[in-house]
């Protein structure tokens, strides 16, 4: 692992690190904020998964999360959204290829050799994180925006007991019924739609739900509402009587202005579960 940068922030340290990834077959970069408390003992961690076109850096510099993480004494980890580099497959469209890993393990050419973001985020990066930094594996939460909200929800529901809470900002809520999902799942996973269901938050909510609290914020003026399909997930949460809240925020769009506005709520929500 290489240290690319470390900057003092809100009494803690915002670092950026790179390492050779076996899962993705390339070098991967991630950000990690450690609050001041980490100098004395392991601290809880909140995973933040970013959306289409993003790298580790977008949320790290735009979401305003470090201030609230420092206040609550929690770490934040910002993975990249896809493999990158020479020899890694890509596409001219912004919503496929590099920057659009969709947090799945690709099985189809040309994506299969590198696009294994499910394994990277759920297995490889956690092993590295918990072995190299003072973060508490027993106290994890996860959140994300858009494609990252999709990833946060599907991962949380697929690993019962790992995460104490999950939240999302404008998640791609029903990708098997959306062009933000059907296109990518067909490319990465093949045409058998039965294989897609494991990566659809609405279908997972109907099947198993989440064993902790959920918080979802959705901008009512989001320009991508037809692609996100929030109503499908809201209905599934209601039908399951899921412990959680789904909030429509009047006037807000899909941008990081929206995310940063409600970041304090989300960090506080996770801190309550992590320190319970």
Angle at 208 between CA 202 and CA 210, to 5 degrees: 85
CA atoms within 13 A on the CB side of 116: 15
Q: Which of 56, 254, 266, 270 is catalytic?
A: 254
Strands (DSSP E) contained in the chain are 2-9, 12-21, 26-34, 43-49, 75-79, 135-144, 163-169, 214-219, 244-249
Kindly write down the DSSP assignment for every residue of 114-127, as one continuous string: T-BHHHIIIIIHHH
Q: Is 113 helix (H, G, I), strand (E, B) or coil?
A: coil
Q: Compute how many other C-beta atoms are within 10 angstroms of the C-beta atom of residue 148.
A: 31
Q: Is 167 a catalytic residue?
A: no
Torsion of CA 154, 157, 159, 164, to 10 degrees: 110
Q: Is 146 a catalytic residue?
A: yes
Q: Which of 56, 178, 222, 270 is catalytic?
A: 222
Q: Which of 146, 165, 167, 178 is catalytic?
A: 146
Residues with catalytic function: 146, 222, 254
């Amino acid at each position: 692992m290489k240290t690319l940068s470390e900057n003092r922030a809100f009494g803690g340290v915002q670092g950026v690190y790179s390492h050779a990834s076996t899962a993705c077959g390339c070098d991967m970069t991630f950000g990690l904020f450690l609050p001041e408390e980490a100098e004395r003992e392991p601290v809880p961690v909140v995973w933040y998964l970013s959306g289409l076109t993003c790298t580790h850096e977008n949320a790290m510099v735009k979401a305003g999360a470090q201030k609230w993480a420092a206040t609550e004494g929690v770490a934040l980890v910002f993975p990249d959204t896809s493999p990158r580099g020479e020899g890694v497959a890509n596409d001219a469209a912004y919503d496929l290829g590099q920057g659009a890993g969709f947090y799945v393990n690709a099985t189809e050419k040309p994506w299969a050799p590198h696009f294994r973001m499910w394994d990277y985020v759920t297995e490889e990066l956690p092993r590295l994180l918990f072995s190299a930094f003072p973060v508490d594996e027993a106290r994890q939460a996860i959140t994300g925006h858009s494609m990252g909200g999709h990833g946060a929800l599907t991962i949380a529901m697929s690993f019962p007991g790992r995460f104490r809470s999950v939240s999302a900002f404008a998640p791609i809520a029903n990708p098997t019924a959306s062009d933000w999902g059907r296109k990518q799942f067909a490319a990465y996973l093949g045409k058998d739609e039965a294989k897609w269901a494991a990566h659809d938050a609405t279908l997972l909510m109907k099947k198993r739900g989440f064993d902790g609290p959920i918080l979802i914020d959705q901008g009512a003026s989001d320009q991508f509402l037809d692609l996100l399909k929030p109503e499908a997930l809201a209905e599934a949460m209601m039908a399951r009587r899921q412990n959680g809240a789904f909030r429509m925020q009047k006037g807000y769009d899909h941008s990081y202005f929206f995310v940063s506005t409600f970041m304090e709520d989300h960090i506080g929500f996770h801190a309550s579960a992590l320190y319970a």
